[in-house]
Amino acid sequence: MTASLAGAQVQKQKVTTSEVKVTGASKAENYAEIKFDTLRHNFGKFSQKDPIVKCSFRFKNTGTAPLVIHQAFASCGCTVPTFTKEPVKPGETGVIDVTYNGTDKFPGRFQKTITIRSNAVSEVTRLIIEGDME
């Protein structure tokens, strides 16, 4: 005895979006967000005789969970970012210090990128330093 599926009817249920219930945490419940005062710093003109310049990028955690910076790296070895390893609580501020060392570099205009990786909703942020070493 064999069963024939040809005559079997398959019923499909139609589900509308109003019937679907979303479960789980939403962004508004628990997230970190990083907001910088500025994403770019221009050193302007500085002397080749004093080729090391520094700046700071201030940021605030505008989210609802602690912000953790996992990594900060520059586009070349002449630029070194440093940052706190401690989580930044919601509403608190932090700083990323950047040092550019133009020793043994050709004079002229430069632009370097610092990439920040964190647990923020925007996981990657890019900062830019630029200047003109004479």
What mean pLDDT do residues 16-32 have? 53
pLDDT-derived band of residue 84, with 50, 70 and 90 as boundaries? confident
For residue 14, the model assigns a pLDDT of: 44
Sorted by where each begins, the domain ranges of the chain are 33-133
pLDDT-derived band of residue 51, with 50, 70 and 90 as boundaries? very high
Burial of 8 (0-12, 13-18, 19+ CB in 10 A): exposed
pLDDT-derived band of residue 73, with 50, 70 and 90 as boundaries? very high
Q: What is the pTM (predicted TM-score) of this model?
A: 0.77
Distances (CA, A) of 52 to 25, 48, 96: 46, 9, 17
pLDDT-derived band of residue 28, with 50, 70 and 90 as boundaries? low
Give kind and range of the element (H or E) at residue 120: none
The CATH code that applies to domain 33-133 is 2.60.40.10
Burial of 52 (0-12, 13-18, 19+ CB in 10 A): exposed
